Amino acid sequence: MTARSILPLPLRRWLGTKWKGTRYTPVGKVRFGDLRRLTPFSREFGYDRGLPIDRYYIERFLATNASDIRGQVLEVADNAYTLRFGGNRVSKSHVLHMREGNSRATIVGDLTGYNDIPSDSFDCVILTQTLQFIYDVRAALRTVKRILKPGGVVLATVPGISPIIRYDMETLGLWTFTTQSARRLFEEAFPQDHVQITAYGNVFTVASFLYGMATEELRQQELEHVDPDYELIITVRAVRPANDAL
């Protein structure tokens, strides 16, 4: 009797459909090569080797939605993506930081609590790799909606399957996400038909990311393939309705 034969019939049928056409390597024949190791190639997400794989997808997402980065734009921590993808469409670049001391910050405030960030202020909010550090994500998203102008857009990314940096885990790191959790959170703040969720990744890019490899070490077709069962990075485009009044 095989392990698969003891599974319930409906599950066996589902697995048979899912695995149909999959090319298998027999058990014991996998060649691990350089991957047979207990430590990653990099503990810095691959920054020390090139462009981190998650940043490849983040930048692709921002490039695809570059036309949204216009007018009054708010970005967290710095404005690198605002300048890179917004260009001359941006009339004013703002940088949000929660504490004093960031010389690039034009606004100091906490997205989750009472703050002086005025409502109806921004045409675009760039919120990349930020929500995993915020405990009260719901409160943060309510603030993001409030400070957007009617018709304004938030472009957000959150980690799916990801390594961690120990410093972040001990001080700030709180969450990873799935497309389902991201959708439910954003649809609590924004209308369902104004939220677009996309995940990027596949088993190879996820494994490479966990090992700390960089974008430059993968082939283009490997990066472009999407397998919905391996969500490396999740992107969100959410729009505050043009007729919305708080």
Positions in the chain short of pLDDT 50: 1
**The token pair that represents 137 in the structure block:** 């994500």
d(CA 42, CA 39): 8
Cβ atoms of 230 and 202 within 8 Å: the answer is yes
User: Is the domain defined by 69-200+231-239 classed in CATH 3.30.70.600?
Assistant: no
The encoded tokens of residue 242 equal: 């043009």
Asked if residue 137 lies in contact with residue 175, where contact means CB atoms within 8 angstroms, the answer is: yes
Q: Can you name the residues that pair with 238 across neighbouring β-strands?
A: 154, 195
pLDDT tens, 114-136? 677 889 999 999 999 999 999 99
- Residue 1: the pLDDT is 47
Instruction: Look up residue 74 and give its two tokens.
Output: 């708010």
DSSP lists the bridge partners of residue 245 as none
Q: Which residue has the tokens 């930048």?
A: 59
Question: Domain boundaries in the chain?
Answer: 69-200+231-239
Q: Collapse the DSSP code of 173 into the 3-class scheme (helix H, G, I; strand E, B; otherwise coil) and give the result.
A: coil
Encode 12-47: b = buried (16+ Cβ within 10 Å), e = exposed: eeeeeeeeeeeeeeeeeeeeeeeeeeeeebbeebbe
